[in-house]
Structure 1
Amino acid sequence: MSFEIRLPLFEGPFDLLLFFIERDELDIHDIPIFKITNDFMAYVRELEHLNIEVASDFILTAATLMRIKAKMLLPRTEKDEEGNEIDPRKELVQHLLEYKKYKSVLSDLALMEEMRMSQESRGNIEEEVLQIANANHFEYELQDLSLYKLMRVFGKVMQRYDEEQQKPKHTVITYPYTIEDQKAFILKEVVQRQRISFSEITRTFPDKIGMIFNFLAILEMLQLNLVGVEVGEGFNDFTLTIAEGDANQVTQLHLS
């Protein structure tokens, strides 16, 4: 007669180590490395005896346990920067605690998966969403919104912004001049001084726009026969005078 021996299968080496710790009620923060290494190696040897293929992670963990066991047999101990002895089991304990934390939520996740698999998806969702969108006047495309689409929209907005910044800009400046004001100023000077040169007027209003307004005002007053012009030598300047025969009219306009 032949006997069949069935060994419990574990999902990984950490699952097996946690089984040993819980079975023997060991302190996970102070693992008896000699005992747990012997138990682990006995399980691996039993798998090999039954011609069961041993996974590489089991072999790696066995080698890690043997290395820790060898370090603990040596009298020389490693120390950290502060001079404290480094426990060779520290890294293994951290991995076990991390694995135990994730394993504790596996049952809850499995239950949630089972509940979700027992549910059926609702029908007519797209039609209902479209009706809601039409009733509230917002874009139905929002349901298909994705990070890629958002990045494309952002890129287009930035491109339009750059194009707007590069467009030529025209600045309109309002100057404090009018033809009527400059006519009144020039007429006042002509009446009071009898004669005034154009260069004297430009010194009062030295900017380019001021000279243009003054010149246009002079042209209009010449057309209305309010002032006269005497051209100086070299034609570099001219002098304004009261128009001949219209002194009374000019004086009355100035007084008004």
Structure 2
Amino acid sequence: MLESYSVSVEGFEGPLDLLLHLINRYEIDIYNIPVAKISEQYMQYIHTMQQLELNIASEYLVMAATLLAIKSAMLLPNQEIEADDNYEGEDPRDELIARLIEYRKYKEAAQTLQELEGEEKESFTRPPQKWTEDKKLVSKPKKGAVTVYDMLSAMQNVFDRKKWNRPMTTTIEKIEIPIKQRMEEVLSQIETAKQGIPFDQLFPYPSKSHMVITFMAVLELMKDKLIFCEQERTFDSLIIHRWRG
């Protein structure tokens, strides 16, 4: 049995944050949310969290129930609307939309303040310096550009791929590795990849226990600022890099 392992990740900011991530990811109009689609995607994330044996906060499950209730309400025929074409009834999504818009305002404001704080910390003065032509500006990958929800989506793809690729007649032995040992192995693997390593290459075994421990190891390494993850475009593969100052 896989030992219970809890990890605190700052990226898990609550169900509204997950919904906003899905709205941005699928370029959905926040004022006209397709509840059926967003519910399906939301439940896939919840399922992945359960597969990873993460402690899911009750608020995520409450939101899941809310989405299903809204979906059911939108499927029910409205007799008043049928009787009067000019009737403007209340949309079951209105309260959720209002909460999301309010949350997005606070999130954007917090992001702006965080960026200003970062700029202030990086500001410093130095004596005048002569510029030489051989000096080049080297662009570095943007660290921390990927959210924990992007990683959960990538992890779901790993689960699905391992499930379909696993030979039906082969018995896979359970692999149990201490989290610290797996962190060292992942870090060593990334060290040798100068251009970074695709996220799914960190999961060589179709063993749930090994995949869960590997995912936890990656989260811990990111939290300790030893590695970072990037994604060039939405839905592209995630690339893991060594954090080098």
Q: TM-score, normalised by structure 1?
A: 0.39
Q: Which has the higher contact order (CA 8 A, sep 6+)?
A: 2
TM-score by length of 2: 0.40
More helix by share: 1
Greater radius of gyration (CA): 1
